[in-house]
Homo-oligomer: A and B are copies of this chain.
Amino acid sequence: MEEKLAVCLMSGGMDSTTLAYLARHQGYRIIGLHLNYGQRTENKELRCARRIADLVGAIEFIEISLDYLTRFGGSSLTDRSIAVEEYDPAREAMPNTYVPFRNANLLSIATSLAEARGASAIFIGAQAQDYSGYPDCRAAFIEAFQQVITLGTRDGSGIRLIAPFLDMKKADILRIGLTLGVPYQETWSCYKDSELACGRCGSCHFRTAAFAEVGIRDPIFYEGE
């Protein structure tokens, strides 16, 4: 039987965790890749990603620090002098949590790793619906990056970028995860670095809305609960 090998980008959040379980379900052996780009919640995210990699049976877990994205600045996720915005459905501008061109950096690293190890796929849990303001979460961006991978890796590498959640609602991702036994109690979504999730930032907003829509209790705890 052919051994399929995949690099799974694992942030420690709901979407990438669900996707790692889906990759395993599809028969891939998993190399977990966690990128630290100086985001406020990195300690929590790393702990979660490492634990999830264990649980999903990753054959390798690699963490890489991209402190240069912090040095460039310009995002409330990496610059502590900018407050994280609360979710505002009326806002049309880009959220200040946007990290310039972040996903291209993540995908370039994932592709270098996939090519070096002979992996045939890269799984990324990018999802456009909740991140309509982030240009690097658009389906067109992901398609263009596939083209860059095809042209920029050695001929015949055949590396495929797999991003099945791009146009899905978070509630539907959650429904898939529940059928796969994803341990959501081990995931972290909040943009802030409090002990408990804040429940008010954009990321908490979409997470709690997804659990509410599916009609089950979120296994993590929120401030004020």
Chain A residues with a Cβ under 8 A of chain B? 62, 64, 68-69, 71-74, 94, 98-105, 107-109, 111-113, 115-117, 135-136, 138, 140-141, 144-145, 147-149, 151-155
> B115 and A105: CB pair below 8 A?
no
Q: How far is the CA of A100 from the CA of B115 in the complex (A)?
A: 6
Partner of A112, one of B69, B140, B145, B149: B69
Partner of A109, one of B68, B107, B112, B141: B68
CB nearest to A138 among chain B residues: B151
A190 CB to closest chain B CB (Å) equals 24
Q: Which chain B residues lie closer than 8 Å to A138 at the CB level?
A: 151-152
Copies assembled: 2
Q: Which chain B residues lie closer than 8 Å to A69 at the CB level?
A: 112
> A151 and B155: CB pair below 8 A?
no
The answer to whether residues A68 and B72 also contact, given A100-B115, A154-B135 and a CB cut-off of 8 A, is no
> B100 and A153: CB pair below 8 A?
yes
> A148 and B148: CB pair below 8 A?
yes
> B108 and A135: CB pair below 8 A?
no
> A112 and B148: CB pair below 8 A?
no
A74 CB to closest chain B CB (Å) equals 4
Partner of A68, one of B64, B74, B98: B64
18 A–B contact pairs at CB < 8 A?
A72-B112, A73-B116, A74-B115, A100-B111, A100-B153, A101-B115, A101-B152, A102-B112, A104-B104, A104-B112, A104-B148, A136-B152, A138-B152, A144-B147, A145-B148, A147-B147, A147-B148, A148-B148
> B116 and A74: CB pair below 8 A?
yes
Q: Which residue among A102, A103, A104 has the maximum number of chain B CB atoms within 10 Å of its CB? A: A104
Q: Which chain B residues lie closer than 8 Å to A141 at the CB level?
A: 148, 151-152
> B100 and A112: CB pair below 8 A?
yes
Q: Which chain B residues lie closer than 8 Å to A98 at the CB level?
A: 154
A147 CB to closest chain B CB (Å) equals 5
